[in-house]
Amino acid sequence: MFAVTGITLNHADFVESKASVQSVEKTLPAPLLKTVNRSRNSKTLPLSFEKWMDAHTGLDLNNFELQWSEYELYGKYAQPATQRWFSLDLETGTMYQESVSGGWIAFFNDLHKGRNTGFWWQMFLDLFSVATLIFAATGLWLLKRYAKGRQSTWPLVFAGIGLPALMLFISTTASAAESELTVQIQRQDVAEYHNPYLAIWLADTRHQKLMNIKVLYDGRMANSKGEKWLKDLRLWWRRAGRFATLPIDGVSGATRPPGSFTVNLSPYMNQLTRFPAGDYFIFVEAARELGGRELVKIPLQLPFSSPVQLTRSGRQELGTITLKTEP
pLDDT at 13: 57
Q: How many helices (H) and strands (E) does the chain have?
A: 8, 14
Residue 259 near residue 182, CB atoms below 8 Å: no
Instruction: State whether the Cα torsion 107-111-114-118 is positive or negative.
Output: positive
Identify the CA nearest to 30 among candidates 47, 45, 52: 52
Residue 282 near residue 300, CB atoms below 8 Å: yes
> H or E segment at 186?
none
d(CA 35, CA 52): 12
The series of mean pLDDT values per 10 residues for the chain, 327 residues long, is: 87 68 88 93 91 92 86 86 87 87 85 88 94 94 86 88 86 47 85 85 86 87 76 87 80 86 81 82 89 88 80 90 82
β-sheet bridge partners, residue 278: 302
pLDDT at 14: 67
Delimit the domains of the chain by residue range.
20-101, 118-171, 181-325
Residue 53: alpha-carbon gap to chain centroid: 25
pLDDT at 37: 92
pLDDT at 12: 66
77: alpha, beta or left, given left = phi > 0 and alpha = psi -120 to 50? beta
Task: Using only the alpha carbons of the chain, give its radius of gyration.
Answer: 24
d(CA 298, CA 181): 11
